[in-house]
Chain A
Amino acid sequence: MKQTTLTYKLVMAATGLFLCFFLVIHLLGNLQLLLPESEAREQFNWYSHLLSGNILIKIISYVLYLSLIGHAFYALVITKKNIKANGSSYVYDKRSQVSSWNSRNMGILGTIILIFLIIHFKDYWYEYKFGSLPLDAKGNKDLYSIVISSFQQGWYIIIYELSFLALGFHLLHGFFSASRTLGLYHPKYARVVRFFGWVYSILITLGFMLIPIYIYFNLNAL
């Protein structure tokens, strides 16, 4: 069967939704950072350890890597095709008046998120996997310390916050767009899903954005 843009879009939707699901898990983990320092350290490190040991989690993590790569790769493929489909561009273009900014700029938002992810992976994931981290009292790798120390730097927080803003807008369109691609057409449920998408995107974004700010202001003295 010939590959069509619609099948590419299906990959985008499926991987996107899986990433949405992962964001929930990730956020739940991160929320542990909001606990009092003494509890948070062991709790967070234990959770990080859990996420790196279990076979089931391992499989999920590989799906996650694949999803990320797939999502980005097909985004590129599709964008390339779209540019070709557009042909020559308008001399005077006001088409932006009839659609939302984020829906038109998923690629840019996605790129920001991708750059952020590279930084993010380098700082935490790479450190955790391949770096030499000290151990905490329970013998788990002390990721907590790295996180807390990185959130002591204002510029880092700004990058972090801006990236999550980008993620927020990406989700705002992406979640509902995925549901459309998967074939949701019933007007009532389309509305419900759209509303759910908004709530989801806002909660995820605010959740992630809150943590560094909280740490910056509350755990400064560490």
Chain B
Amino acid sequence: MNQLWLTAKLDIVESLRARWFQIYTLVFGGIVALLFVFGLTESRVLGFIGLSRLLVTYIQLTMAILPIFVLITTVRSVAGDREAGVFEYLLSLPVSLSAWFWGKIVGRYLVIFTPVFLAMLGATIWAAIQDIEVPWDMFGYYTALLAVMALCFLGIGMLISAIARSTDMAQGAAFMVWLTLLLFLDLILLGVMIQGKVAPEVAISLALINPLQVFRTAALALFDPQLIVLGPSAFVILDLFGATGYKIFALIYPAVLGLISATVGYLLFRRGDLP
């Protein structure tokens, strides 16, 4: 356990000094700041006002940015470290491969989740100071959703890093994964369904196994519990899971997907050449 925490700490310190982290923090801090500047807490859309409106916008933006950011920065730094000889040296020290791999994941997870969470927390604290009502249940669920989203894409990123032998390959693969997930978002699936090219069951199944779509639907469900914007698909989802059941599914499935990806990544990492 000591080796794992040492490795996690090491990764945190390395990340805090990396340029990608500064940009990452700036992006999410900047989003919240801009949302305040543009007066989103005062605007009213779909009956949403105050901080809930800001949180809905924030989570939508985060869902668009965080996955590709996490995928690219994870594979770039892990594959880059391997290419630059960092692995050759640090793995010559007596650290177990499990402590090294999972320690990196723990450190990286804290680094990617903390700025996203702090930006949202900062907005909440500011709202509380300004006497704006804080929707705590929404804040809690969105926090959990962000935590799971970070875990899911970090796991996929670590799997890609374990497979790809060069930074270029890893980056290309990460981008392809993100594009594929984008391709199977609801709007595109809907278009394909309308054209009658795939059965509705297939389209809905694809939407349910696509973590990006799962997050999107879960975020929508908070301000549109009947999922009216999804059209007939909502019936399938709500019949299958129920409103609460889907909210739980949206937390458990991506977390399991991330953990399975990370575990497969670890097994491949342990089996192959390290540097």
Chain B associates with chain A = no
Q: Which residues of A contact B (CB under 8 A)?
A: none
Q: Which residues of B contact A (CB under 8 A)?
A: none
